[in-house]
Amino acid sequence: MKSLLKAVGWIIGAGAAFVLLSLLGGSMIWVAGGSKRLDVNGQARPVREAPASGAWAYYGGDAGGSRYSSAAEITRENVRKLTVAWRYSTGDVASKPEAVKRSAGEATPILVEDSLVFCTPFNEIVAIDPGTGAQN
């Protein structure tokens, strides 16, 4: 029984230490004197300019992923007139018929430079021209 109580005590102690370190986080670096080796006076510079107003700078449009667009071109009155501009097929159904039976595909392309980029269920990266649907 004593060994069981001792083991429980160690578990509780380890859990408390984990919680304490989690709460203190990076501040432990300062307490331990590790901050003397850290360069915290640096300045981050953007790799490139911010996107133009109205561009989606985040997945889902904003930092919260709301997928809201303030674009005014599509309205309740004209949304019924939209048609499919292009379709794209990875060719996986024809080239991997047996593997396709055991897989599932769902992709959310991201805009990188001038291409829509996504990954197939077989870990193949595809880049597509957003205007034509042609593979880059």
Report pLDDT digits (tens) over 97-130.
888 788 888 888 888 888 999 998 888 899 999 9
What average pLDDT does the segment 63-84 reach? Answer: 87
Domain coordinates in residue numbering, the chain: 1-36
Q: How far apart are CA 45 and CA 57, in angstroms?
A: 17
116 Cβ neighbours under 8 A, 6+ residues apart: 109, 110, 127, 128, 129, 130
